[in-house]
Amino acid sequence: MTLRKTLIAVTAFAAIGAVALTGCSSGGGSTSGSAGGSLTIAKPDGAAVLATQINNPFISTGSGMSLGYDRMIYEPLAMVNPVGKNETTPWLASKVEWNADYTQLTVTPRTGVKWSDGTPFTADDIVFTYTLIKNTPALDLGGLKLADIKKDGDNVVLSFSESKFVKQGDVLQVGIVPEHQWKAIADPTKDPVKEAVGTGPYTIKSFSSQGVVLSSRKDYWGGDVPVPQLKYLEYNDNTGLLRGLQNGETDWAQIFITDFQKNYVDKDAKHNVFWAANVLSPDMIVVNTTKAPFNDPAFRKAVNMVIDRKAHAEKARSNAGPELTSVTGIPQPTGDQYIAPEYKDKTFSIDVDGAKKVLTDAGYTWNKDALIDPAGAPVSFTLQDPQGWNDYVTGIQLVATQVKSTLGADAKVATPDADTWTSNVATGNFDAALHWTGSGTNPWHIYDDVMNGAYLEQAAGGKVSDNFGRYNNPEATALLAQYAQASDDATRTDALNKLQKIFVEDVPAIPIGTHPQLGEYNTRKYTGWPSEDDQYATADPTQPSAVQVVLKLKPAGK
């Protein structure tokens, strides 16, 4: 399903019930009333996140973006829904319109909006924000490649050096910052922006090592804010945050929970909700294609043929999301419409005999039960993921056991700390790792993450920002560019079908499971949360749509 390039207007708000657009009342940023009380939102990243107040939305590791409270302060032009109907909801723009090839975006700024310091929001703020990104490459977190930004009457026109069809969300969901404040900031890549001024429904009431408290605005452009206060906390790890969810200290979070039904939902079955929003993002065993044994397509194919994906869904993911079944790696049913005709009915199955034949045909042998490569050396490799990432560590343990027992390869498991692992993956200091892929409203991001040779050309200091397996196939790279730059669906479909064929036949990475966006919340204080039955957004409080979720809530019992 593609996002509409035709006019998307303010009426979209009413269509999905995101915000009741009422007249703005006068007044400052004090707390408005609500029978539901405050909501507590938490992350499991440790106290260090709260050591320094960083409200700069361009610093992804700062307190504001790490905890997600920046989402309640800095608002985007529009929201792009990765689930449900993939709809685009205008936000600070009253309407947005793409041209035919998605190289130009025309937006109409919403009227009647004020920054939290009382200054009117205007088209100049939009122009300033995107010009700041254009002129400061370090701020271009979404790879927008802006060519020109200008005002055209009441509108703002953004032009790009390439099609943004696959990156509409990256373009539209940039947090807009106030020109009157930011024009005085000398280095926007480092300034913490202690005094956060935004158009969003909340302002910062307090910040300390104990947490962050936001108060709702009475003069918010979208009308009454249903939740008067938000509290953001940090726990040391998933275990601590789970206890907070279980005992009611925390209302809203995003963590993996082993056996979520027993360990969370059943603790208060009437109110506790765990929702895994099935987005177009699988988990894959990313393999280093530049070194043995995964530089051999035959070995990659053989491993792909013996993976127990049902066990992964049940034991590693606690059935949080459906089993990955399509040989294309595209999660179903979300991505059914994108699967190429030749793979519509092709699903994964464990085929040990078939895998051994692939290896035998490629010159592999066995010494008793040990797999020997064509050069006469025992086959061994190490799977690594960070310690504490229970679902991922369980996942690689399952894979190691399966490969060792079926093929005889010496598969080991390593669990370095997260910083070491991140560095290892970026620099190529690994054999294999279980990793997520990017997600969007089409499968392009799945294949871009593991097949795009452009990332290898952009490597800096030996580090790549994606395609960590360093797969280099010029045909795949060209097809990814063709899909991204196409101006019609037929061209995109043809390119995507060919990409799937390369992926299935050459196995640049090994798809293992779905990677839903997780969310936990309770309905004791508020209702109106996103869910499987109402997929207007995901339930992840760190995503751009978090503000959309809060504004759709209603006090319980009303």
In a domain, residue 8? The reply is no
86 confidence band (pLDDT: 50, 70, 90): confident
Nearest to residue 452, comparing CAs of 461, 440, 464? 464
Residues 291 and 440 in one domain: yes
Decide: 427 and 462 in contact? Cβ < 8 Å: yes
**CA-based torsion, 31, 34, 35, 40: positive or negative:** negative
Of 516, 531, 546, the position where a domain reaches its end is 516
- Please report the pLDDT score of residue 8 as a whole number: 40
Residues 325 and 181 in one domain: no
Higher pLDDT, 138 or 219: 219
Q: Give CA–CA dist 497/225, Å, rounded.
A: 46
In a domain, residue 2? The reply is no
Residues 389 and 508 in one domain: yes
558 confidence band (pLDDT: 50, 70, 90): confident
CATH, residue 257? 3.40.190.10
- Domain of residue 229 covers 35-73+200-271+523-557
Q: Given a cut of 80, is residue 368 above it in pLDDT?
A: yes
363 confidence band (pLDDT: 50, 70, 90): very high
- Please report the pLDDT score of residue 334 as a whole number: 85
Residues 432 and 551 in one domain: no
Mean pLDDT of 261-284: 95
- Please report the pLDDT score of residue 56 as a whole number: 97
Q: Give CA–CA dist 147/245, Å, rounded.
A: 46
Of 191, 222, 255, the position where a domain reaches its end is 191
CATH, residue 178? 3.90.76.10
Q: Give CA–CA dist 378/383, Å, rounded.
A: 17
Nearest to residue 92, comparing CAs of 71, 113, 73, 72? 113
pLDDT tens digits, 50-72: 999 999 999 998 999 999 999 99
547 confidence band (pLDDT: 50, 70, 90): very high
CATH, residue 439? 3.10.105.10
Amino acid identity at 252: W
Most confident among 14-23, 43-52, 315-324, 399-408 (mean pLDDT): 399-408
DSSP, collapsed to helix, strand or coil, labels residue 270 as: coil
Q: Given a cut of 90, is residue 377 above it in pLDDT?
A: yes
In a domain, residue 10? The reply is no
Residues 242 and 324 in one domain: no
Residues 170 and 231 in one domain: no
Query: Hey, how many other C-beta atoms are within 10 angstroms of the C-beta on 30?
Result: 13
In a domain, residue 41? The reply is yes
Count of domains forming the chain: 3
Residues 298 and 392 in one domain: yes
Q: Give CA–CA dist 272/270, Å, rounded.
A: 6
Report how far apart, in Å, the C-alpha atoms of 102 and of each of 98, 156, 485, 487, 494 are: 6, 15, 8, 7, 18
- Please report the pLDDT score of residue 93 as a whole number: 98
- Please report the pLDDT score of residue 458 as a whole number: 86
Decide: 294 and 509 in contact? Cβ < 8 Å: no
Residues 419 and 553 in one domain: no
- Please report the pLDDT score of residue 41 as a whole number: 98
- Please report the pLDDT score of residue 389 as a whole number: 86
Q: How many residues does the chain have?
A: 558
- Please report the pLDDT score of residue 221 as a whole number: 98
Look up residue 231 and give its two tokens.
Answer: 């509290």
pLDDT tens digits, 132-141: 999 999 899 8
9 confidence band (pLDDT: 50, 70, 90): very low
- CA quadruple 99, 105, 109, 110: dihedral, nearest 10: 60
pLDDT tens digits, 251-266: 999 998 989 999 999 9
Residues 384 and 429 in one domain: yes
32 confidence band (pLDDT: 50, 70, 90): very low
In a domain, residue 95? The reply is yes
Question: Is the whole model's pTM more than 0.85, yes or no?
Answer: no
Mean pLDDT of 346-369: 98
